[in-house]
Structure 1
Amino acid sequence: MDTEEPGGPRRTIELLWGVPGPPRRGPKPKLSVEHVVFAGVRVADADGLDAVTMRRIADELGVATMSLYTYVPGRDELLELMLDHAHGELPGELPEGWRAGLAAVAGDLWRLYHRHPWLLEIRAGRPTLGPHTFAKYERELAAMDELDLDDVQLDAIVSLLNGLVAGAARGSVDAARAARRSGMSDVDWWNRSAPVLAGIPAADPARFPRASRVGTTAGQTYGGSSDPEHHFRFGLDRILDGIGQLAGA
């Protein structure tokens, strides 16, 4: 019989692809894996990833906590299922042209992260081997079909784009959370902070001329201390420029 050590990937992969587990005796289950995943997404959307516990999901579904383990082995596996489910929201079509295609890929992921900010908190360490995540990767690669690049270059570009989007989206989500927690906009925060800095001799702008000049100009342009969406768009354009140069496109 083919067995696996506890914590191995087999059951998670089977759950991701809808492969049924071994038959169980007793009454027919009241729920499905999909019910558990949907409940996890609802909780994460409402209260963040830390709120996603087996007890909380059981409460949402009106069942005993231990009964959830009939459907998923544990929280880590549930998070992988939730991640793959969220990737299923990404569109499949692409606009014409590699540059427009990659821009669409990045923009769609940016919007997904803002719909489900908890995705940015998942630190899997390894890729999720589910159908929607495979489809996401396939689409990212398909956007570059016309480019004369080798497979390793294609994979590296996908990784680079994903890193840019995640980093910028994390900055955007964190800024919004800071504004909610403090009750202050970026402008209000700076208007309160600037006089404090001005009263500290060691913070004299003359000691930090570049930081003072660039920070002032950028802040005036952004209307705040930062503009993560501008950073995202700027970084995306520079990456696309570099890809075009690399591929001679």
Structure 2
Amino acid sequence: MTDLGGGTDLDRILTLLWRHRNPPPGARTGRRPRLSVDEVVTAGIGIADTDGLEAASMAKVAARLGVGTMTLYTYVPSRTDLLELMVDQVLGSRELPGPGDPRPPHWRDQIHLYADRTLAMFRDHPWLSRISTVRPPLGPGLFREQEYVLSAVENSGLPLLKVNEAAGAVTMVVTSAARQEGESVLLRRASGQSTDAWWLERSRFWEDWFDAGQHPTMTRIWDAGGFGGGTQEQAAARFACGLRYVLDGIEREAAASRA
């Protein structure tokens, strides 16, 4: 697990993360630079997408861009900085509606849009599953997500004092499921085997080792058909169920506050 929380200068990384809103003084004067920070970040993402997070080194990014490694450091001063920029750019790639942008009319549909795009993001960029977001990059990608989810939950009618906690619960459920999507992609790439195939290889466990007497609840659920189909199908069903329960709870709380 890669930690983004340390090893970088705060003022430096914030200037890089918010470079489009607040370009550095004098950034447009003098000789035009050969590269842009955007090109460096995009190259890093491309390498991580195809070859994995470990492959996205400063040397390999420089080689892809056709410059020396030391030249790259004049644009992005460290690999930690590069990873923060990569993560935030990918977060922003979901293009969640901002204030005033068209969005689904119902708040639950707004949450489902966020969930669908987040799941797709982790499938397209599975290396995100290798990065801890406990200490996230404080960039526009993160804050666009936060603003969108908070506004969607606020639209439920929940009192403002409860919106942040409820939005956090939504984000935890969605991100947890999305990270598993990314992990599944990484494991399939590394092993050449799907998770369903992995379980199928171990099917004799249930005959040879599973003790129904010690696991009566599991057995009753199995006999009732409650374990569903393959693991991917189960994961999708669990996510849909978990998100529905959270949204139902928010809806009930909002209704109670209006009563």
Q: TM bucket by the smaller chain?
A: 0.7 to 0.9
Return 5+ residue gaps in structure 2 as ranges: 1-6
Deviation at 1:46, TM superposition (A): 0.7
Aligned to 2:38: 34
TM-score with structure 2 setting the length: 0.80
Q: Which amino acid aligns with 2:207?
A: A
Residue 223 of structure 1 corresponds to 230
> Post-superposition shift, 1:152?
4.7
State the distance in 2 between where 1:163 and 1:104 align: 15
Cα distance in structure 1, aligned partners of 2:170 and 2:235:
15
Match of 1:81 among 85, 92, 95: 85
Kept after mapping to 2: 8 A contact 1:190/1:225: no
Which whole-Å CA distance do the structure 2 matches of 1:32 and 1:41 have between them? Answer: 15
2:170 aligns to what SS in structure 1? helix
Counterpart Cα distance in 2 of 1:151 and 1:50: 42
CA distance in 2, matches of 1:21, 1:49: 33
**RCO higher in structure (CA 8 A, sep ≥6):** 2
* Counterparts in 2 of 1:193 and 1:53: CA distance versus 1, 3 Å: same
Q: Which residue of 2 aligns with 1:66?
A: 70
In structure 1, the residue matched to 2:170 is 161
Work out whether residues 45 and 117 of structure 1, in 8 Å CA contact, stay in contact via their aligned partners in 2.
yes
2:251 to 237, 244, 247: 244
User: Any conservation in 1 of the 2:119–2:181 contact (CA below 8 Å)?
Assistant: no
Count of residue pairs brought into register by the alignment:
239
Match of 1:131 among 136, 140, 159: 140
> Please, which of 136, 144, 157 is the counterpart of residue 153 of structure 2?
144
Give the structure 2 partner of residue 13 of structure 1.
14
Question: Are the aligned partners of 1:169 and 1:228 in contact in 2 as well (CA < 8 Å)?
Answer: no
| Ranges in structure 1 where 5+ consecutive residues have no aligned partner | 1-5
TM-score when scaled to structure 1? 0.83
Deviations 1:38-73 (A, max 9, x none): 101101111122221111111111211122110112
Moved over 6 A (4+): none
Partner in structure 2 of residue 3 of structure 1: none
Structure 1 residue 10, shift from structure 2 partner: 0.5
Verify the 8 A CA contact 1:187 1:223 in the aligned structure 2.
yes
**CA RMSD, Structure 1 to Structure 2 (Å):** 2.7
Distance 2:126 2:194 in 1: 20
Partner amino acid for 1:137? Q
Q: % of aligned pairs identical?
A: 35
What whole-Å deviation, never above 9, does each CA across 1:70-114 have from its counterpart, x for those lacking one?
Answer: 011211111111122112222314200212112222222122221
1:108 is aligned to 117
